[in-house]
Amino acid sequence: MDKHSDQKRAVQYLYPPIDPYDQQILDVGQGHRIYVEQCGNPEGVPVVVLHGGPGGGCSPAMRRYFDPEYYRIILFDQRGCGRSRPHASVTNNTTWHLVEDIELIRNSLDIDAWIVFGGSWGATLALIYAEEHPSSVIQLVLRGVFLMMQSELDWFYGGGAGKFWPEVWERFEGLIPKDERDDLIAAYHRRLFSGDLALETRFARSWSSWENALASIYSTGTGGEPSGEYARAFARLENHYFTNFGFLQFDGQILARTERIKHIPGVIVQGRYDMICPPYSAYALAKAWPAGELKMVRNAGHALSEPGISAELVRSMDRISGKGPV
C-alpha cells in the first residue's frame, strides 16, 4: 500500500493556473528594480503575496491559492531575486527596504489596504510590515512562521535540525573546515561573498540544498540540485539577512511588538513536523497575538507545496472570501 495514500497531491486543492493581466518593473530607488504582477479580479479584494527566503522569488503556483473571481492577487520578487534586478545584490537590501517597497507597491497600485499572505521568511516580513503599517493591512495569512530569532537560527544552522538529519547535516557542514564550524552562517558568508563566482556558486548550492532537503515531511534527504543562478541569489540574500539578524533592533522584536497588530485578524498555518521553522514560533505568536488563529496541520512539514498546508491555506482564503465554511 502507498504509505501516502491518504494524501492528495497539493495541486488538487489549488485553483486552476492563471496568467497575470498586468506585469511591470517598478523602480524602487537605490539602484533596485523589482518585478510586480497582478492577476485575478482587478476590482477584487487585494492580497499581496510575500515569498520566502529571503531570495526565494515568487512562482506561478503562488497565484493559485486564491479564488481569482474574488481576489486581486499581487505577487512581486523582492530585491535581488527572481526577475528583480540587480540579481543577487545585497547592496541597499534590508528588511526595512523591503517594507517600504511593499508600501510603494500598494500606493502605486492605488490600494488603500490589503490582505498580506506570506510563508516562512514571507511570514516574517508580513508581520514586520503589519507592525510598521497596521492601517495598510486588512488581514494576515501566515504559513511556517519564522520570527527571526537567534534561537531559530541556532536550531537550523547550529545543529538542532541536524540531529534529525545527520547525514544531510554532515554534507552541509562538511564543506567547512572544522575550526570554522562553530559559526556556519559566518563561515558560509565568507565563501558566498568571496568574489569568486565558482566558489560562491558551489557554496550557494550547498546552502540551498540543506534547506531544500528538509522542507517536506516526505523528504528522503535530497531536495534536488538548484540551478547555480537561483542558488547564488537565494543563498547570498538569506545569509546576508541572517548575518545581520534580519536588521531588527533586538532579538524577539516581532513578538514584543504584537500589540501593534492586536486588532488585525489572521490565520497561522503551521506544519506540525516543520524542521525548518519548528512549531514553537507559531505557537508563541498565537499566544502573543490572540487575533491570529493557529491551524496546526498534522503530517506536514514546512513546504508550501505540501498537501495539508495547501489545503488549509486555500480553505482559509475561501473562508475569508465567504466561499468556505466559517
Q: Would you name the residues annotated as active-site residues? A: 120, 274, 302
Half-sphere exposure (Cβ direction) of 293: Cα atoms closer than 13 Å: 11
- CA–CA dist 50, 27 (Å, integer): 18
Q: Which helix (H) or strand (E) holds 74?
A: strand 71-76
Q: Answer for the pair 103, 127: CB distance below 8 angstroms, yes or no.
A: no
Q: Give the integer Cα–Cα distance in Å for 141 and 316.
A: 8
237 Cα distance to chain centroid: 13
User: Please, which residues have CB within 8 angstroms of residue 206's CB and are 6 or more apart in sequence?
Assistant: 171, 172, 175, 188
Handedness of CA 78, 225, 15, 310 (dihedral sign): negative
Q: Is the dihedral of CA 278, 282, 284, 287 positive or negative?
A: negative
- What residue type is assigned to position 146 of the chain? F
H-type helices in 109-251, by residue range?
A: 121-132, 150-157, 166-174, 184-192, 197-213, 228-243
The two beta strands, 137-143 and 71-76, are unpaired
Residue 271, C-alpha cell as written in the block: 506544519
- Burial degree of 243 (CB within 10 A; 0-12, 13-18, 19+): middle
